[in-house]
Amino acid sequence: MTRIRPLASLASLARFGLPVGRLGTARGHRRSGVGRWLHALATGENEATPFVLFVGVNSALLLLGLLLSALALLILWIAGYL
């Protein structure tokens, strides 16, 4: 598969006599402090990435275990075994 260079493709489209141009990037887009931190975390630029991933996964597993335990207790209570 060949990659098309953006400027070459614009020039090849312009030869048909149609107005061709690039759209500008959104210059007014700014991230909040939390947004920048999350972006840095997601891209691995933040030094805390492994720690946050470790704590996040363990927290999710703990929550899942608590929910499943509560569901099991509810089922046992309804069945009359508790």
pLDDT range class, residue 40, cuts 50, 70, 90? confident
CB 20 within 8 A of CB 13: yes
12 belongs to a structural domain: no
pLDDT recorded at residue 10: 72
CB 52 within 8 A of CB 58: no
Minimal CA–CA distance to 37: which of 49, 26, 25, 27? 49
- Domain count of the fold of the chain: 1
Question: How high is the mean pLDDT of the chain?
Answer: 84
| Amino acid of residue 45 | E
Task: Map tokens 């312009």 to a residue.
Answer: 14
Q: Highest mean pLDDT range out of 2-6, 51-55, 70-74?
A: 70-74
Q: Is the dihedral of CA 10, 29, 37, 62 positive or negative?
A: negative
63 belongs to a structural domain: yes
67 belongs to a structural domain: yes
1 belongs to a structural domain: no
5 belongs to a structural domain: no
Query: Rounded to an integer, what distance in angstroms lies between the CA atom of residue 42 and that of residue 35?
Result: 10
13 belongs to a structural domain: no
Task: Report pTM.
Answer: 0.56
Q: Which domain holds residue 60?
A: 31-82
pLDDT at 29 over 80: no
